[in-house]
Amino acid sequence: MRNFYDVTITELQDILVRSGQKAYNADQIFKWVYELKVFDFGQMTNISKALREQLAEMFIIKELEIHTVQESSDGTVKYLFKLDDESLIETVLMRNDYGTSVCVTSQVGCNMGCSFCASGLIKKARDLSVYELVSQITSVEQHLSIRITNVVVMGTGEPFDNYDNVMDFIRIINYKQGLQIGSRHITVSTCGIVPKIYQYAKETIKTNLAISLHAANNELRNQLMPINKAYPIEAVLDACKTYFDMTGRRITFEYILLKGVNDNLDQADELSDLIRGINCYVNLIPYNPVLEFKYQKTDISRANEFHQRLLKRGINAILRREQGSDIDAACGQLRYKKENAI
């Protein structure tokens, strides 16, 4: 039986019409499930008894199973969810002044092979289904009795390597009778799969795009991110410019500061020169050290100097505050520990 969280509003309308029901019933059903949190079709009193019985035969509504929860002193919560096939995935809740954000995982494992990232310690086993994407949000909402206001698809995996399911997930969480998360509050992060950036620019829902950059030249980025050998920086930036021209949405460039690797002031100047003229801002991210890798976190004084150098050279940049540093904060870290302990 199919999980209801797998179904977009358009697909549900088609299912209803084909079975002799009215398309408008889809909105009513979505409201019961996503807004009113009613998961028993029999209690959906404004639709016919026949339709309620039909829905109960077609769908189940089931959340992901919580395997482990870690809570940081700063309020960050990391979840390890167990999927139906026993796979484990991570999801992170972050509390900010502007609301509550969930960082969503898009794949079981990751094949991008970034040399600093714990996500790649276990290779990709499969893509996540739409239900497994949506339920990362609904499960957190129900566990903490809160409403999620912002979503970032920046967890384990490459979202554009699971493109169709990620887009259906966005359609569900953005829909007016779905989770009602505004498009300006949804961000998808990619390591730079150029053809998918162009495809993403054509989508009708104009969400935000973040690029995992982490270096300002191809030589260093090749070492940090193997995907750069297929899609070098110049191709990524050309795609970003097209994305902005088509959507009007400012690009975010993510830049993890690695001590002695990409954090000197000459590299700040190189980064400034590289992205000048693009409507963007730089998100400087303190590194969460991973035991299996050699990289270390940049000293806070150097991180501040790097940040100030970008600002001085006219680049809009923020230095992200650390969150979850007292738990297994790095993407993939908790899952890797649990799976290697089994």
Identify whether 90 is a catalytic site residue.
yes
Contact criterion met (CB below 8 Å) for 30 and 175: yes
C-alpha distances in Å from residue 88, one per residue of 104, 117, 124, 154, 338: 13, 17, 12, 16, 9
Per-residue pLDDT of the chain (342 residues; tens, 9 = 90+): 899 999 999 999 999 999 999 999 999 999 999 999 999 999 999 999 999 999 999 999 999 999 999 999 889 999 999 999 999 999 999 998 889 999 999 999 999 999 999 887 889 999 999 999 999 999 999 999 999 999 999 999 999 999 999 999 999 999 999 999 999 999 999 999 999 999 999 999 999 999 999 999 999 999 999 999 999 999 999 999 999 999 999 999 999 999 999 999 999 999 999 999 999 999 999 998 888 888 999 999 999 999 999 999 999 999 987 655 555 554 544 544 444 444
- Predicted local confidence at residue 292, as pLDDT: 82
Taking only the tens place, the pLDDT of each residue in 3-58 is 999 999 999 999 999 999 999 999 999 999 999 999 999 999 999 999 999 999 99
Q: Which fold has domain 2-60?
A: DNA polymerase; domain 1 (1.10.150)
- CB contact at 8 A, 1 and 59: yes
Closest CA to 332 of 76, 90, 140, 104: 90
pLDDT of residue 97: 86
Q: Which one from 103, 158, 331, 339 is the annotated catalytic residue?
A: 331
Where along the chain do its domains lie? Answer: 2-60, 65-341
Homologous superfamily of 65-341: Aldolase class I (3.20.20.70)
Alpha helices in the chain (DSSP H): 9-18, 25-30, 49-58, 130-144, 163-174, 194-201, 218-224, 233-247, 265-275, 300-312, 333-341
* 114 classed as catalytic: no
In degrees rounded to 5, what are phi and psi of residue 19?
A: -95, 10
Catalytic residue among 63, 90, 141, 158: 90
pTM over 0.85: yes
